[in-house]
Structure 1
């Protein structure tokens, strides 16, 4: 890290809803100034202007940079570096700061376990999006532009849900993803394992980021979203991270791959397990995810739009069960062969609208609660649960995810004791309040589909 080569420092943090915010400060030609900045932070935040943070009469807050997140920004005209920050209040970690909450949770865990999380980031990349919103009639319309839409007749289109692994001549976004992953690796030291076109037409893509410490992975995810938008701006594309932008095509998930280590040993792995090379400890962890899965939904699928994704028929999880290699289950154990199987679980409900700092802390809390209480996840379900008759699901005791955000928030209000030590009470209560406001605001708008169906009644 050579701060002498930059003129400006971009101090970044995330709010409760996962939005990246920033302030740019002039770097001083004084190494002691920088050391003081990293040690104690800088008073540069009005907490009353960040939803859910502070009241106006008590709003002065500090940003404390993490020097390990230093990265040179390639898109600024003046030499500028970014630093991701924790939020401080009265010189202490702020109780509602998502990053500080995850950092504290990991410190509490390290005496027993070392967790790793990797993410599959799915998102749509459009050439344009035009939103017409009329507050007076409480209605809106959206027009999206993409060379890949089936309504186009340019020789490069596929039918809905036909985009999986298409080759570059038809994959109009290959060059965009190539520039994106090159920028991530060159400037931000983010290891990208793979990228490809996803099932959704109109430019759905997936980028897989290598597993790491959950704090690093969360930093990488928020960095990824910013880089995706900046690369898109330069190339004439608009990346969209909402979970379900197109009603009749697949939605976008943020599948979390989780493993747990102790003394440098993967305690999720068991070579003697015939089913999935998965240990009993991993099964208990899965039991915690199933036990608290409905409450977790408010944190990992946190928007009204999230629940348009969580419906049968689009490879999105609906049922709280686990299985090997089964993408209709909420918890999948990847198992391509005994050579490449075991040692990790894939938690499929999260989507890219979530605050990954909060989601990671909550998922670990649920899983560790399962280990501590030895929660039995039940038998794996090795069939297409979407096609399973309802009476069979009921007889097997299979729970479903909440139907909408309001129901998920109700579940979180009634089941959050497992989050103690992972997320603060202040964060949880404020988060629920903000999300209920969001739901109430959006539910009053009739969709264009509703007008089409009901206007002639």
Structure 2
């Protein structure tokens, strides 16, 4: 049963109205009963991509779909304290926020069917004058949902994406035995060695609604498992869920999954390429129906122009850690070295593939997908609005040429400078989220710059006289 909301209804009121859908609630109650669910995680995602939340006994479902759960807002920055001792995101006296579940994200965890989960959207608590019930501005997931909805309303287009999450697995029995001068990539024998891992990951992902499509072995311990592309919001949720699945499989098998972007010097980095397409209904508007040769429509060219124009400024999100930039320095390892595009050219930042999608290669395995997709929507909008020309496609290797766009930042400090100077990128996230993300990452960079590393000991500890 639904009610009519007053004209002064807040975003929180509207969400509660959606959650009053009796048919949807009864369907969830049936799934809870059928699976024997006893506990439910009400979860959200922080600026760094960490999953946070609360566990509640399942019998409180009706209360929680209306009231939600509450958490301290500094959790959105992982309760991180900066070098000066300040708690990022508002300090200890900051108000809590309300986390209200999206009913369509309910899922039973396949590794323990007594537990289920919801993704939540976050709101200011109702008692806060003037802003009570409004969306929490540092909610990365809620921001992407709102931004994408507005983009579709304005353009009639939908961003669809598929991610390629590379990661490294280490542990007993996973040592990759191959000649030093011989790549282990695509070796079925090494896939077979990893069979317990990919079987569990794929089976759990399928149980959680993924359409798993293919996977391969790429470098020592590096496995990539892919699923079907979809609406960008769903892809972001699935990437977060995929990481949770991998952590669970690691616990079960006694091995260690890592999304660290550059595990070791000379090894392939762990990327998370975003494969992008724009759809109007059932039509991908990046390509013209019936044309077989590689090409982009005008819409596709302008969208690409926006992506490339703002790529340097997006790097603080696409490569979000100090370690991320080791992946770009090690040229020849399929990571971009400059900002450009090409026709099925794997050395470029953006590759136009044979199936009419743009493969954006800057994001790495620790990217926050809600932030990356929000920035891509902002960049694409700017490209469409201003008909930005991406220039001619790169011919040959990118490692031997110059691009027409801003240079690729070579460390997190440079990336943060570019990030803070780009209006389009900042508008896609909003001022409060930009401030929180910048403060968190600037502190991370400062901490790294103040740490003495093993490399420095190797170089300098006995170098003089």
When normalised by structure 2's length, the TM-score is 0.84
Cα distance in 2 for residues equivalent to 1:398 and 1:34: 51
Give the superposition deviation at 1:277.
2.9
Secondary structure at the residue paired with 2:303? helix
320, 335, 356: which is aligned to 1:316? 335
Cα distance in 2 for residues equivalent to 1:366 and 1:160: 41
Cα distance in 2 for residues equivalent to 1:373 and 1:328: 27
121, 124, 132: which is aligned to 1:86? 121
Cα distance in 2 for residues equivalent to 1:379 and 1:271: 22
Question: 1:41 and 1:167, CA in 2 relative to 1: closer, same or farther beyond 3 A?
Answer: same
Question: Is 1:56 matched with 2:56?
Answer: no
Give the superposition deviation at 1:117.
0.8
User: Hey, what does 1:114 align to over in structure 2?
Assistant: 158
* Matched ranges for 1:184-333 at <5 A: 184-186=205-207, 188-198=208-218, 200-201=219-220, 203-271=221-289, 276-311=294-329, 312-333=331-352
Q: Deviations over 1:102-155 (max 9, x none)?
A: 011011012221110100110000117xxxxxxxxxxxxxxxx9512xxxxxxx
5+ residue gaps, structure 1: 129-144, 149-155, 336-340
User: Hey, what does 2:388 align to over in structure 1?
Assistant: 375
Give the superposition deviation at 1:69.
1.4
Aligned length: 412
44, 51, 54: which is aligned to 1:20? 51
Q: Deviations over 1:202-243 (max 9, x none)?
A: x00111121111111111001100110111111111110010
User: Hey, what does 1:6 align to over in structure 2?
Assistant: 37
102, 117, 124: which is aligned to 2:168? 124
73, 76, 80: which is aligned to 2:109? 73
Cα distance in 2 for residues equivalent to 1:381 and 1:263: 31
User: Hey, what does 2:422 align to over in structure 1?
Assistant: 415
Contact between 2:191 and 2:216, CA under 8 Å: does it hold in 1?
Answer: no
Contact between 1:319 and 1:328, CA under 8 Å: does it hold in 2?
Answer: no
Secondary structure at the residue paired with 1:430? helix
Give the superposition deviation at 1:257.
0.5
138, 146, 149: which is aligned to 1:104? 146
Contact between 2:54 and 2:69, CA under 8 Å: does it hold in 1?
Answer: no
Q: Deviations over 1:412-451 (max 9, x none)?
A: 111133542x322100111011100011112222332332
Cα distance in 2 for residues equivalent to 1:161 and 1:66: 48
Secondary structure at the residue paired with 1:58? coil
Give the superposition deviation at 1:250.
0.8
Contact between 2:309 and 2:406, CA under 8 Å: does it hold in 1?
Answer: no
Cα distance in 2 for residues equivalent to 1:238 and 1:158: 24
Cα distance in 1 for residues equivalent to 2:181 and 2:252: 28
User: Hey, what does 2:68 align to over in structure 1?
Assistant: 41
Cα distance in 1 for residues equivalent to 2:181 and 2:454: 20
Give the superposition deviation at 1:66.
1.3
User: Hey, what does 2:447 align to over in structure 1?
Assistant: 441
Cα distance in 1 for residues equivalent to 2:439 and 2:93: 20
Question: 1:49 and 1:279, CA in 2 relative to 1: closer, same or farther beyond 3 A?
Answer: closer
Cα distance in 2 for residues equivalent to 1:56 and 1:170: 48
Cα distance in 2 for residues equivalent to 1:193 and 1:314: 25
Secondary structure at the residue paired with 1:110? helix
Give the superposition deviation at 1:410.
0.4
Question: 1:418 and 1:121, CA in 2 relative to 1: closer, same or farther beyond 3 A?
Answer: closer
Give the superposition deviation at 1:329.
0.4
Question: 1:158 and 1:216, CA in 2 relative to 1: closer, same or farther beyond 3 A?
Answer: farther
Cα distance in 1 for residues equivalent to 2:179 and 2:406: 35
Give the superposition deviation at 1:272.
6.9
Give the superposition deviation at 1:71.
1.2
Give the superposition deviation at 1:53.
3.6
Secondary structure at the residue paired with 1:270? coil
Contact between 1:243 and 1:306, CA under 8 Å: does it hold in 2?
Answer: yes
Give the superposition deviation at 1:352.
1.4
Secondary structure at the residue paired with 1:259? strand
Higher helix share: 2
Cα distance in 2 for residues equivalent to 1:431 and 1:103: 18
Question: Is 1:353 matched with 2:366?
Answer: yes
Cα distance in 2 for residues equivalent to 1:95 and 1:158: 52
